[in-house]
């Protein structure tokens, strides 16, 4: 069973199952983030412009201060003339002596402390400014990404949402955007490290050629290590992610079916499943993380070898006072020969280079898991909205005569058709009732009219024109719908009613509410029309919410009105009143009502009886009722309870058998 | 609090009222409750942590040897301070060696250390952790938290330590998850109706890691950090005891580090909470607009929704930025303080070097030790701030642990069969918010009858049905089965006697057959097929590619609503329990199937108690007893014929309107 679950929840991706994404793909992915940096290049350059002078200045400053502290201050050697000029020291006392006196060393110390304090005072605000600027920049990129994905999710056809869970959509828009932002960050962050690593490999040549050789060897080794580990890390992290997905799916499923679990007392079994999946998830996480940890350790050890070796042999050089490669050129800093200061300085560079390599390797390791998620993030960005405006789309001109469905077929998933060859015509000024068992395709049929998706086959016409020729906006502006699920927003009642027509006056709102018979109960609310509604309007009863969504549809004042089981939760009296109001209001409009209720159906001029996505019968109530053995007639009879005798006898043995199976 | 609207409280991730320091401490301590079985593993981890301190104490000395003896060419005997006892063997070994020899010897020793613990000098010390960068949102951060482990070492020992720790946190985490999942399954039906699935997943997957982490860190750091500081101070005293300034500098690092981190804790916590709240508002916005996508698209609200999201999201970023500024400020201040200490030390100690009282090597040793003290002290100081970030998750997890669960009496009475049936006397029930859902309901439902619950939506039909298997417990009144108080019966026994079909069919990711067998795990193939036959499911199952062995996918993805409903009816039928309850079972059925099902139910009711909730007349009218509910009260009861004879009766009116005969047009 876990096998089948595994394939079902497999992360979709171009590279397929188990096959780790290749190095090249990752780099390709990384470059795909570049377009999101558009508009930020200037900021990045600005940052670089601020940072660069400091970086360049840092080289001589570090050299000089290392020399000053180690060689002059600690060892008491005389100061070079350049250093003396810079620190405004008296050459007689500091340069032209055999050894610095304790007193001059104290003066030098005072200058050095002063220098440290001044540079901190100047440097800290600049550093903070750069950090803050960078933070804002990253957030701005992230924000634009989020907006992009949100728009994407919204524009996606309903078919996509029918197959993707709501939670997943949120996950996409929210998490993936930060994933892309992160990758972008990952793309930017190594750049300084890389520059540092490359720069240092040449720079240390000035000190000692063997340092360059060691660093060069380290880089090659690091690259090979990263490649070897990278592939393995990707496999392990993919496995871990899948195990985690399975576990999440398990919890979701149990919670979705919790009523059944409780009613049938199978909590223990579910707990068993959960424990197994949880252990699996932890087991794969353990493997993946251990490997990542091992990678970190190995890369640390390898990157530590060059500095460690340098520490030992440079110490011997210093002991011998051997000359530096570029000793003559560096004499102004006091680094003509190897001494404690040059040693400290060289060790600082070696550690810096090793640190850069370590940092790059670390980033590489950490990024491996992201590549798995990245594929999905970009797949989200790439999805094209299925329903789009035609190039030559025109505005919806209004309804004169009729809406027709011609041979319309549709399926969410190819293997399960929802509508098959539907033919129907709805005239302006009439009410069309769509009737049939749950799941027979009634709601889908009206969604097609709204172009929430387009039919796979056939066409829908308004006054003979294919609705695909109209712009989406104008089409939807001319159709209002009161939905089966009464979705309300967390604002006031008034705002909810005029959601589609924000500029509607309070009086118009109230008129619409009256048509929907909602005015009375709204006025009974503590703040009337200004009463706030909680998420999904939790404070209202189902019937009240239904009336609100009818009012919302009515206020749009459109030629086509769709009511999707709008009255299911209304009591019979209210329903009757709402329907009477609607047929009064609906003159000259085409109204579609999806309903189960006989009393509602009887109000319709035209009845379409659907079953398994096919139109089984259509016509007026009276016309359909004369058909002997017709599906609609059977439905009505059963509903009225006026037919009962003979099938009962036919069915009874079957259950008798079940009952007798004790 | 008064400005918090209901809507916000309904949000999946709640806006959290501030948590006081005291409550935070209480919650944290509580996470120890479950540490019990892992005490041994925890002790070993503490052992590792202590073991890691020893090499750290030794490490500064070989570097000093390189500086003093190799570079500066000082003889061991010339040193103002001799080596402490634990490096003495090393010092003796290099006695009399040439500089090159010494360099090679010290180098090999350091290589060994590098391999063993991943550290060789002051600038290179490895720490092992393996966090991944999955994104900056809460969930993926929690993912890292759930796999939280670290070692203060690298190298071989570091890997062993890391793996051990990861096992430990995983064990802890699994333990908590499992526990929370179990609790969640036992929540009473009413609270499950409110609870969102996503929310439960979040709690089980991520909030539990808060417990793990708090518990794990709260055990480790307070033990190891002071120990480390004490050890280092002792070693400094051992070597440089005659220099008071050296000692008291070491001692003053701890309060300095704490003074910088502590005042920030309150502000940080408040900012953190504000940032989280705006973050969850953003999530709510996007969730709302995706949930309502149909309404949004059909009402042309995309642009407005986008704008709303845009604003919320940017506001959330602004809050995070404020938090980041505070963090950076804290880090910079800590850095400045460290620099000040460094300057001070250099200032004080250089005098000793000028006068020859100390060598440059001694200075590097002391600096290394001071850094270690600062590191441990800051770690301990930040612990509180850090853990506060996890307190919210902690509370959410504990709230669930404490939530009321399904009633089970202490001494449960077994229930082997239902012979007579149910009797309710004056039973009432209130919704969690206090509004009454059922008022003084009295009824009798005998085995061998078909009882229909009818009435408008919201009348309390489902509530009444939920009381039969004790999914919910009444606020007052008495309900009995065969004279036994329901509240005293064993939960499992009670539910084993009942088969329940819910309004929304829920299927599991298993085969058709397995889904039916949920009702009776040991049912034979024949029983399963017969149940499917009666439920009207047999035909479509035959057309499935693998028949009863066809896997259904997540929540029966491949089936239509009607098919799912039929399967869930078959599941209840195969259970063959004395009580069968169906909540609107026929809504998604076509007339023919419905008719056959109703007939079957009538047949079944000869031997069982069948309770049906229905809107459709065709289902209701055959009942032996119709209970007509309105606003949580029983308005009328009796057979269809009896009730229809009542002139102006509520049921009669209901029926007439259903038929559309009530003077329409």
Higher-confidence position of B6 and A651: A651
Higher-confidence position of B286 and B536: B536
pLDDT band at A641 (very low <50, low <70, confident <90, very high): low
> What is the rounded CA–CA span in Å between residue A604 and residue A434?
9
Residue B234 has a pLDDT of 93
A420 interfacial to chain B (CB closer than 8 Å): no
Tell me whether residue B645 is in a domain: yes
User: Across the interface, which of A5, A146, A256 has its CB nearest the CB of B506?
Assistant: A256
Highest mean pLDDT among A151-155, A179-183, A342-346, B217-221: A342-346
Instruction: Suggest the residue from A251, A322, A644 to mutate for an interface test with chain B (most B CBs closer than 10 A).
Output: A251
Higher-confidence position of A253 and A572: A253
- Among chain A residues, CA nearest to B6: A534
Tell me whether residue B8 is in a domain: no
Q: Verify that B186 and B306 share a domain, yes or no.
A: yes
Tell me whether residue B197 is in a domain: yes
Residue B453 has a pLDDT of 92
B420 interfacial to chain A (CB closer than 8 Å): no
User: Across the interface, which of B107, B159, B509 has its CB nearest the CB of A308?
Assistant: B107
Q: Verify that B523 and B665 share a domain, yes or no.
A: no
Higher-confidence position of B343 and A605: A605
B197 interfacial to chain A (CB closer than 8 Å): yes
pLDDT band at A459 (very low <50, low <70, confident <90, very high): very high
Q: Verify that B210 and B337 share a domain, yes or no.
A: yes
Tokens 């070696």 belong to A350
Verify whether the Cβ–Cβ distance A499 to B131 is below 8 Å: no
Mean pLDDT within B574-581: 90
Tell me whether residue B97 is in a domain: yes
**Minimal CA separation from A103 to chain B, in Å:** 9
Highest mean pLDDT among A273-282, A447-456, B305-314: A273-282
Mean pLDDT within B118-143: 60
Q: Can you read off the two tokens belonging to residue A197? A: 């690593």
Q: Verify that B179 and B283 share a domain, yes or no.
A: yes
B275 lies in which domain range? 19-401
Verify whether the Cβ–Cβ distance B599 to A568 is below 8 Å: no
Q: Verify that B527 and B657 share a domain, yes or no.
A: no
pLDDT band at A646 (very low <50, low <70, confident <90, very high): very low
Neighbours of B152 (CB within 10 A): 24
Contact yes or no for A598/B660 (Cβ under 8 A): yes
Query: How far, in Å, are B107, B123, B130 from residue B113 at the CA level?
Result: 10, 14, 22
Neighbours of A529 (CB within 10 A): 19
Q: Considering only A226-235, A367-376, B419-428, which range has the smallest mean pLDDT?
A: A367-376
pLDDT at B664 over 70: no
pLDDT band at B665 (very low <50, low <70, confident <90, very high): very low
Residue B611 has a pLDDT of 93
* B454 phi, psi to nearest 5 deg: -125, 165
Residue B659 has a pLDDT of 67
Instruction: Suggest the residue from B122, B142, B335, B354 to mutate for an interface test with chain A (most A CBs closer than 10 A).
Output: B354
First-to-last CA distance in chain B?
52
Verify whether the Cβ–Cβ distance A647 to B292 is below 8 Å: no
Give residues 89 to 108 of A whose Cβ lies within 8 Å of B: 102, 105-106
Instruction: Suggest the residue from B120, B127, B136, B525 to mutate for an interface test with chain A (most A CBs closer than 10 A).
Output: B136
Higher-confidence position of B578 and A333: B578
| Ranges assigned E (strand) in A382-456 | 402-413, 416-427, 431-435
Query: How far, in Å, are A385, A537, B30, B545 from residue B288 at the CA level?
Result: 20, 11, 35, 38
Task: Report how many domains make up chain B.
Answer: 3
Name the fold adopted by A5-381. ABC transporter transmembrane region fold (1.20.1560)
CATH code assigned to A402-631? 3.40.50.300
Mean pLDDT within A62-86: 85
**Minimal CA separation from A437 to chain B, in Å:** 5
Contact yes or no for B277/B17 (Cβ under 8 A): no
Tell me whether residue B628 is in a domain: yes
> What is the rounded CA–CA span in Å between residue A60 and residue A113?
18
CA angle A336, A339, A342 (to 5 degrees): 70
Mean pLDDT within A462-469: 89
Question: What CATH number has the domain bearing residue B630?
Answer: 3.40.50.300
Q: Verify that B337 and B455 share a domain, yes or no.
A: no
Higher-confidence position of A376 and B284: B284
Residue B626 has a pLDDT of 93
Mean pLDDT within B508-526: 88
B490 interfacial to chain A (CB closer than 8 Å): no
pLDDT band at B227 (very low <50, low <70, confident <90, very high): very high
Q: Cβ contacts (< 8 Å) between A480 and chain B: which residues?
A: 298-299
User: Across the interface, which of B167, B457, B664 has its CB nearest the CB of A603?
Assistant: B664
B633 interfacial to chain A (CB closer than 8 Å): no
Q: Verify that B163 and B82 share a domain, yes or no.
A: yes
Q: Verify that B144 and B108 share a domain, yes or no.
A: yes
Residues of chain B with pLDDT > 90, as a percent, come to 11
Tell me whether residue B394 is in a domain: yes
3-state secondary structure of A328: coil
Residue A263 has a pLDDT of 81
Q: Cβ contacts (< 8 Å) between A308 and chain B: which residues?
A: 107, 110-111, 114, 120-121, 124
Instruction: Suggest the residue from B590, B605, B621 to mutate for an interface test with chain A (most A CBs closer than 10 A).
Output: B590
pLDDT at A181 over 70: no
pLDDT for B417-471, tens place per residue?
888 889 999 999 887 666 778 889 999 999 989 999 988 767 888 889 988 988 8
Verify whether the Cβ–Cβ distance A290 to B339 is below 8 Å: no
CA angle B271, B277, B281 (to 5 degrees): 145
pLDDT at B292 over 70: no
User: Across the interface, which of B149, B287, B665 has its CB nearest the CB of A170?
Assistant: B287
pLDDT band at A3 (very low <50, low <70, confident <90, very high): very low
Q: Considering only A324-338, A371-385, A394-408, which range has the smallest mean pLDDT?
A: A371-385
> What is the rounded CA–CA span in Å between residue A92 and residue B99?
35
Mean pLDDT within B576-600: 81
Highest mean pLDDT among A519-523, B4-8, B390-394, B525-529: B525-529
Residue A180 has a pLDDT of 62
Residue B7 has a pLDDT of 29
Verify whether the Cβ–Cβ distance A483 to B298 is below 8 Å: yes
Residue B557 has a pLDDT of 62
Tell me the pLDDT of chain B averaged across its residues: 80
Q: Is the dihedral of CA A328, A329, A332, A336 positive or negative?
A: negative
pLDDT for B231-264, tens place per residue?
999 999 998 888 888 888 888 888 887 877 777 7
Residue A661 has a pLDDT of 37
> What is the rounded CA–CA span in Å between residue B315 and residue B310?
9
| Ranges assigned E (strand) in A222-340 | none
Q: Cβ contacts (< 8 Å) between B659 and chain A: which residues?
A: 598-599, 639-640
Q: Verify that B565 and B581 share a domain, yes or no.
A: no
pLDDT at B206 over 80: no
A118 interfacial to chain B (CB closer than 8 Å): no
A254 interfacial to chain B (CB closer than 8 Å): yes
pLDDT for B615-624, tens place per residue?
777 788 888 9
Closest CA to B549 of B530, B528, B579: B528
Tell me the pLDDT of chain A averaged across its residues: 78
pLDDT at A6 over 50: no
Q: Considering only A471-475, B133-137, B250-254, which range has the smallest mean pLDDT?
A: B133-137
Tell me whether residue B103 is in a domain: yes
Looking at B367, B401, B435, the residue that finishes a domain is B401
A622 interfacial to chain B (CB closer than 8 Å): no
Residue B539 has a pLDDT of 84
A417 interfacial to chain B (CB closer than 8 Å): no
pLDDT at A438 over 70: no
Query: How far, in Å, are A334, B252, B326, B460 from residue B337 at the CA level?
Result: 31, 12, 16, 67
| Residue spans per domain, chain A | 5-381, 402-631
pLDDT for B65-114, tens place per residue?
988 998 888 888 888 888 899 988 988 888 888 888 989 999 999 999 88
pLDDT for B10-22, tens place per residue?
333 344 556 677 8
Tell me whether residue B531 is in a domain: yes
Q: Considering only A426-430, B345-349, B369-373, which range has the smallest mean pLDDT?
A: B345-349
Tokens 């139910």 belong to B601
The model's pTM is: 0.74
Contact yes or no for B601/B450 (Cβ under 8 A): yes
Verify whether the Cβ–Cβ distance A257 to B406 is below 8 Å: no
Q: Verify that B317 and B429 share a domain, yes or no.
A: no
Contact yes or no for B11/B280 (Cβ under 8 A): yes
> What is the rounded CA–CA span in Å between residue B278 and residue A209?
56
User: Across the interface, which of A150, A244, A656 has its CB nearest the CB of B309?
Assistant: A150
pLDDT for B276-286, tens place per residue?
777 777 766 76
Q: Verify that B545 and B640 share a domain, yes or no.
A: no
Residue B324 has a pLDDT of 84
A597 interfacial to chain B (CB closer than 8 Å): yes
| Neighbour-count burial of B457, counting CB atoms closer than 10 A to its CB (0-12 exposed, 13-18 middle, 19+ buried) | middle
Q: Considering only A78-92, A359-373, B328-342, which range has the smallest mean pLDDT?
A: A359-373
Q: Cβ contacts (< 8 Å) between B588 and chain A: which residues?
A: 437-439
Residue B2 has a pLDDT of 30
Q: Considering only A236-240, A536-540, B311-315, which range has the smallest mean pLDDT?
A: A536-540
Residue B348 CA, chain-centre distance (Å), reads 53
pLDDT for A127-144, tens place per residue?
888 888 888 887 787 777
Residue B638 has a pLDDT of 92
Looking at B368, B401, B434, the residue that finishes a domain is B401
Mean pLDDT within B36-44: 84
pLDDT band at B172 (very low <50, low <70, confident <90, very high): confident
Q: Cβ contacts (< 8 Å) between B536 and chain A: which residues?
A: none
Q: In what order do the strands lie in the sheet with A465-466?
A: A416-427, A402-413, A457-462, A465-466
B322 interfacial to chain A (CB closer than 8 Å): no
pLDDT at B59 over 90: no
pLDDT at A380 over 50: yes
Verify whether the Cβ–Cβ distance B290 to A161 is below 8 Å: yes
Buried b (16+ CB within 10 A) or exposed e, A357-366: bbbbbbbbbb
pLDDT for B183-193, tens place per residue?
888 877 766 55
Q: Considering only A457-466, B41-50, B147-156, which range has the smallest mean pLDDT?
A: B147-156
Residues of chain A with pLDDT > 70, as a percent, come to 79
Higher-confidence position of A637 and A554: A554
Residue A23 has a pLDDT of 59
pLDDT at A5 over 50: no
pLDDT at A500 over 60: yes
Looking at B576, B601, B621, the residue that finishes a domain is B576
Q: Verify that B528 and B382 share a domain, yes or no.
A: no
């Amino acid at each position: 069973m876990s096998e089948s679950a595994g394939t079902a929840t497999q992360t979709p991706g171009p590279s397929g199952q188990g096959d780790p994404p290749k190095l090249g793909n990752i780099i390709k992915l990384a470059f795909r983030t570049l377009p999101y940096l558009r508009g930020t290049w200037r900021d990045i350059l600005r940052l670089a412009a601020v940072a660069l002078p400091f970086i360049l200045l840092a080289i001589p400053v570090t050299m000089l201060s290392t020399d000053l502290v180690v060689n002059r201050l600690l060892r008491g050697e005389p100061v070079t003339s350049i250093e003396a000029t810079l620190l405004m020291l008296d050459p007689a006392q500091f340069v032209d002596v055999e050894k610095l006196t304790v007193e001059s060393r104290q003066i030098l110390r005072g200058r050095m402390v002063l220098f440290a304090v001044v540079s901190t005072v100047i440097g800290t605000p600049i550093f903070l400014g750069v950090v803050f600027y960078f933070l804002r920049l990253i957030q701005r990129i992230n924000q634009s990404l989020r907006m992009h994905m949100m728009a994407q999710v919204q524009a996606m056809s309903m078919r996509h949402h029918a197959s993707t869970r709501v939670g997943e959509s949120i996950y996409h828009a929210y998490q993936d955007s930060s994933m892309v932002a992160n990758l972008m960050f990952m793309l930017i962050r190594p750049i300084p490290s890389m520059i540092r690593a490359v720069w240092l490999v040449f720079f240390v040549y000035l000190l000692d050629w063997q340092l360059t050789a060691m660093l060069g060897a380290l880089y090659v080794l690091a690259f090979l290590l990263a490649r070897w580990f990278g592939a393995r890390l990707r496999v392990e992290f993919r496995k871990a992610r899948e195990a985690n997905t399975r576990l999440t799916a398990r919890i979701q499923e149990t919670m979705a079916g919790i009523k059944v679990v409780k009613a049938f007392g199978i909590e223990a079994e579910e707990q068993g499943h959960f424990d197994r999946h949880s252990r699996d998830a932890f087991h794969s996480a353990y493997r993946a993380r251990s490997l990542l940890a091992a990678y970190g350790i190995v890369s640390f050890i390898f990157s530590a070898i060059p500095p460690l070796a340098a520490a030992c042999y440079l110490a011997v050089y210093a002991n011998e006072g051997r000359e530096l490669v570029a000793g003559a050129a560096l004499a102004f800093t006091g680094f003509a020969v190897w001494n404690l200061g040059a040693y400290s300085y060289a060790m600082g560079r070696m550690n810096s280079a090793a640190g850069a390599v370590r940092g790059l390797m670390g980033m590489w390791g950490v990024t491996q898991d992201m590549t798995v998620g990245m594929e999905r993030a970009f797949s989200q960005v790439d999805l094209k909205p299925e329903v789009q405006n035609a190039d030559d789309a025109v505005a919806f001109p209004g309804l004169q005569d009729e809406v027709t469905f011609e041979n319309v077929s549709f399926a969410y998933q190819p293997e399960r058709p929802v509508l098959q060859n539907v033919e129907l015509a709805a005239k302006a000024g009439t009410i069309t009732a769509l009737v049939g068992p749950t799941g027979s395709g009634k709601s889908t049929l009206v969604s097609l009219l709204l172009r929430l998706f387009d039919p796979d086959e056939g066409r829908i016409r308004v006054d003979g024109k294919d609705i695909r020729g109209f712009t989406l906006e104008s089409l939807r502006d001319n159709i209002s719908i009161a939905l089966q699920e009464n979705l309300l927003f967390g604002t006031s009642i008034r705002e909810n009613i005029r959601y589609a027509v924000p500029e509607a006056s309070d009086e118009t709102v109230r008129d619409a509410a009256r048509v929907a018979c909602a005015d009375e109960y709204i006025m009974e609310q503590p703040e009337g029309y200004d009463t706030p509604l909680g998420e999904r309007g939790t404070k209202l009863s189902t019937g009240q919410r239904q009336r609100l969504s009818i009012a919302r549809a009515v206020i749009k004042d459109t030629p086509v009105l769709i009511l999707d089981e709008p009255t299911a939760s209304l009591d019979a009296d209210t329903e009757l009143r709402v329907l009477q109001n609607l047929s009064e209001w609906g003159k000259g409009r085409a109204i579609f009502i999806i309903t189960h209720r006989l009393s509602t159906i009887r109000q319709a001029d035209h009845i379409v009886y659907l079953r398994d996505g096919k139109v089984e019968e259509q016509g007026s109530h009276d016309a359909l009722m004369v058909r002997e053995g017709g599906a609609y007639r059977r439905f009505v009879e059963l509903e009225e309870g006026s037919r009962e005798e003979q099938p009962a006898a036919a069915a009874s043995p079957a259950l008798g058998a079940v009952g007798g199976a004790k | 609090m008064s400005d918090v609207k209901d809507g916000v409280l309904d949000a999946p991730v709640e806006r959290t009222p501030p948590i006081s320091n005291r409550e935070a401490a209480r919650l944290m301590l509580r996470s120890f409750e479950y540490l019990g079985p892992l005490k041994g593993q925890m002790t070993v981890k503490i052992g590792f942590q202590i073991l890691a301190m020893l090499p750290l104490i030794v490490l500064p000395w070989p570097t000093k040897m390189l500086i003093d003896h190799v570079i500066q060419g000082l003889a061991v005997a010339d040193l103002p301070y001799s080596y402490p006892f634990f490096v003495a063997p090393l010092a003796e070994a290099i006695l009399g060696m040439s500089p090159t020899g010494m360099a090679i010897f010290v180098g090999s020793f350091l290589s060994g250390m590098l391999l063993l613990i991943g550290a060789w000098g002051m600038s290179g010390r490895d720490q092992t952790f393996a966090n991944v960068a999955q994104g900056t949102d809460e969930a993926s951060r929690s993912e890292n938290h759930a796999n939280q482990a670290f070692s203060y070492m690298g190298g071989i020992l570091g890997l062993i330590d890391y793996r051990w720790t990861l096992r430990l946190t995983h064990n802890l985490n699994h333990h908590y998850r499992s526990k929370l999942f179990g609790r969640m399954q036992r929540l009473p039906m009413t609270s499950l109706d409110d609870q969102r699935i996503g929310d439960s997943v979040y709690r089980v997957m991520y909030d539990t890691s808060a417990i793990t982490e708090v518990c794990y860190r709260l055990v480790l750091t307070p033990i190891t950090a002071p120990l480390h500081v004490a050890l280092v101070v002792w070693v400094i005293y051992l070597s440089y005891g005659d220099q008071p300034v050296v000692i008291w500098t070491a001692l003053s690092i701890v309060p300095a580090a704490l003074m910088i981190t502590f005042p920030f804790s309150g502000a940080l916590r408040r900012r953190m909470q504000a940032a989280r709240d705006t973050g969850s508002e953003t999530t709510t916005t996007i969730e709302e607009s995706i949930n309502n996508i149909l309404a949004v698209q059909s009402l042309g609200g995309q642009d407005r929704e986008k704008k709303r999201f845009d604003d919320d999201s940017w506001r959330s970023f602004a809050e995070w930025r404020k938090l980041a500024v505070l963090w950076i400020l804290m880090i910079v201040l800590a850095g400045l303080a460290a620099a000040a200490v460094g300057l001070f030390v250099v200032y004080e100690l250089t005098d000793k070097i000028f006068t020859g009282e100390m060598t440059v090597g001694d200075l590097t040793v002391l600096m290394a030790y001071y850094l270690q003290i600062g590191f441990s002290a800051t770690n301990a100081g930040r612990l509180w701030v850090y853990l506060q970030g996890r307190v919210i998750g902690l509370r959410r997890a504990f709230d669930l642990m404490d939530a009321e669960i399904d009633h089970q009496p202490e001494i449960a009475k077994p229930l082997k069969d239902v012979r007579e049936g149910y009797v309710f006397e004056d039973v009432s029930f209130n919704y969690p918010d206090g509004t009454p859902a059922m008022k003084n309901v009295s009824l009798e439902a005998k085995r061998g009858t078909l009882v229909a619950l009818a009435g408008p939506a919201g009348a309390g039909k489902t509530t009444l049905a939920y009381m039969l298997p004790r999914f919910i417990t009444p606020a007052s009144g008495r309900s009995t089965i065969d004279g036994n108080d329901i509240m005293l019966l064993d939960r499992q026994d009670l539910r084993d006697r009942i088969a329940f079909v819910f309004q929304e069919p829920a299927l599991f990711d298993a085969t058709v057959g397995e889904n039916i067998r949920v009702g009776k795990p040991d049912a034979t193939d024949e029983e399963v097929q017969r149940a499917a036959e009666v439920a009207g499911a047999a035909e479509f199952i035959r057309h499935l590619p693998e028949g009863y062995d066809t896997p259904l996918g997540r929540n029966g993805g491949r089936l239509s609503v009607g098919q799912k409903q039929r399967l869930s009816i078959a599941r209840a039928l195969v259970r063959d329990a004395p009580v069968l309850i169906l909540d609107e079972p026929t809504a998604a059925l076509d007339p023919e199937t419905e008719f056959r099902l109703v007939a079957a139910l009538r047949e079944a009711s000869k031997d069982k108690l069948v309770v049906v909730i229905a809107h459709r007349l065709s289902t209701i009218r055959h009942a032996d007893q119709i209970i007509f509910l309105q606003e949580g009260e029983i308005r009328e009861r009796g057979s269809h014929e009896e009730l229809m004879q009542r002139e102006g009766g509520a049921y009669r009116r209901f029926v007439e309107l259903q038929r559309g005969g009530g003077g329409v047009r």
